[in-house]
A and B are shown apart, each in its own frame.
Chain A
Amino acid sequence: MVILQILGLIALGVGSFFSIMGIVGIFRFPDVYTRLHATGKVSTLGLISLMIGSGLLEPSQGLKLMALTIFLLISAPVASHAISLAAYRQGVPLHNSVRDDLKDKPPVSS
């Protein structure tokens, strides 16, 4: 089917675009926390889109790609949360932040 292939290629293009934007975000954003927004969200959408594109081009691998997408959706936000919390506890400063409500809190919670 030509239509499926065209849709797949479009999805691959969109996915590549957002993945690249995630990387650009790592370079342009000023500190760890804002950079995690770039990797955690933009790259997630980029990867979902890449998976959809691959699935449309290779329908026989659809189940595996679906499983990969699910695992990605479960793990990516957890990773960005864990990295941000670790960074905060290590004392990595926020760059030009407007507000920091966590500062007044005792550093270690259970």
Chain B
Amino acid sequence: MPMKIGVRLLLAIILAVAWVLLTGQVNLFGFLFGYALGFLILGVLRNEHLGDSWSIRRLPDQVLAFVLYTLIMLKDIAVSSIDVTRRVLSPRMPLASGIVAIEVDDESTHQLMAALSAHSINLTPGEMVVDFDGTKTMYVHALDVHDCLANEQAGAQITRVKWFKRILGL
């Protein structure tokens, strides 16, 4: 089933902006060309109910959520970099690395959610996703396994999925 026309019109804006940035033609013609191209491409894409329950009223909240989440991620990147730098510079190098299995809830098994949250985990302090079995366990490599208690992580994962749902309007 093709995407709803309103969803296509909005998603094409993102593609048009990307087109303008990539081609470097920052003018109206470049934007319109990218917009038309993006609109056509979105029509060809087969999608799995993306945006079925979406309506324009949700857009402000989605944009707000996106901005807030970006700020949270930037803070996370800074914190994790400072943490790693501290470990690198410390003469004794305090490491207790290991791979921890983290149980995730059902909603994380949605492929998009799984990919996005794994992406975020890679940027959060001291953790990196090594494997995901596709059902309920994520294997996370941590610089210090004591910082990465499994239940705490499951809570963080639930919060993360909530953010993604809010951003994507699901």
Contacts and interface: CB of A to CB of B under 8 A. Distances in A.
- Chain B contact residues, majority secondary structure: mixed
Nearest to A46: B81
A35 to B, nearest CB: 10
B131 A45 contact: no
A102 B133 CA distance: 10
Contacts of B119: 74, 77-78, 81
Contact of B84 (A41, A101, A102): A41
B123 A37 contact: no
A90 interface: no
Interface string B131-169: 111100001010101000000000000000000000000
Interface of B: 18, 20-22, 24, 26, 74, 77-78, 80-81, 84-85, 88-89, 93, 95-101, 118-119, 122-123, 126, 128-134, 139, 141, 143, 145
22 contacts: A21-B84, A24-B88, A33-B99, A33-B128, A38-B84, A38-B88, A41-B123, A42-B81, A42-B84, A42-B88, A48-B77, A63-B21, A63-B24, A77-B119, A78-B119, A81-B119, A96-B97, A99-B99, A99-B100, A102-B139, A105-B131, A109-B134
Interface of A: 18, 21, 24-25, 28-31, 33-34, 36-38, 40-42, 44-46, 48, 63-64, 66-67, 73-74, 77-78, 80-81, 84-85, 88, 94-103, 105, 109-110
